[in-house]
Structure 1
Amino acid sequence: MCSKLETAMQSLIEVFHSYSSKEGDKNKLNKGEMKNLLQEELSEFLTACKEPDVADSIMKELDENADGEVDFQEFVVLVVALTVACNCFLEAQGCKE
């Protein structure tokens, strides 16, 4: 039986590859794939953001090597940053035990 952390890591890998495998390089997200991932997997985040071009901004920030695609390592940077932000928000709200 997998631990919660192992399950979370497996889910992260599976989500990335379920979007990256749709077009082109199966190990990278192009702009369209990234936008779909954000809209389908992080819709509440996008709604709360209220920035009309947030998906484009995220893509630009994540694409460290400026190749127009986001690899798994660049994608994980987004997930970690959002997770840290959510943890800070929950701590500030007193929601964390």
Structure 2
Amino acid sequence: MIFAPQKIHNAHLEQQLVICWRDGQEHRFSYGELRAACRCATCRAEQVRGHLVLRDADLKIKKINNLGQGLQFVFSDGHERGVYPWQYMYELGSRPL
């Protein structure tokens, strides 16, 4: 699979997820960025309504589930419904700041 990562590291102290890809790219995601990028039906509906506001500076990733084709995160705010496919993660990390 082209988009499968070589290494995944949950950098707790920096509150970041670090993904090293097979093409040599390294992407760093803040926990808040990952939470805001959730594409589950509930989050998409909240985004459309303009209601999804994330203000938890202490947001943590409590658990990471590797689904084979991507990741599922269990966030400290209780959210755990989103699935982040590898290709989506790669594209998300490749976006300009």
Q: Which has the higher helix share?
A: 1
Structure showing greater Rg: 1
TM-score by length of 2: 0.30
TM-score by length of 1: 0.30
